[in-house]
Amino acid sequence: MGSFAVKSILVSTLLAAASALSPVVAAAQTPPACAGHYEVIRTDTVKPGQMAAFRKAVMDQQAWYKNHGLKDRILIGTVLEPGSGFSATSAITIHTDMAAAASPPHDHDPAWDAFVAEYKASSDVVATYVVCVAEAK
């Protein structure tokens, strides 16, 4: 399978995943060539007192990929608010290392539905970006 075909499958999978977690989804269904690799970056407003539940959703999403034999990683970033420390209501997630996601997408199962429900109960998506990450040359 050619590089563009693999990337097309990958981004289609990413767009489907992004749509499951966010009302904001990239409009393009056929991705342009990417000189690096695709990542999904999402900003969330965490509901008051729900940061632990949000972190659990991230860990459960990570576990879902691992349990399905995929090498995807879900990273969480807490936002530093100058002069006051880390925000209790703002977070960023980065879905990275998605080369394995180029395989046919898996059907959603109860574990998938559970982490999606955890995200929805603990946070609201502000924005979702599907980005091509590459070294600046």
pLDDT, tens only, 82-117: 999 999 999 999 999 875 444 456 677 899 999 999
Range of the domain at 76: 3-133
pLDDT, tens only, 54-91: 999 999 999 999 998 888 999 999 999 999 999 999 99
pLDDT at residue 99, rounded to an integer? 55
Task: Phi first, then psi: give them for residue 110, nearest 5 degrees.
Answer: -60, -35
Instruction: Classify strands 73-81 and 85-96 as parallel, antiparallel or unpaired.
Output: antiparallel
Q: How many domains does the chain have?
A: 1
CATH assignment at residue 39: 3.30.70.100
Q: Is the pTM of this model over 0.85?
A: no
What is the separation, in whole angstroms, between the first and last Cα of the chain? 27
The whole-angstrom separation of Cα 112 and Cα 105 is 12
* 45: helix, strand or coil: strand
Answer for the pair 119, 21: CB distance below 8 angstroms, yes or no. yes
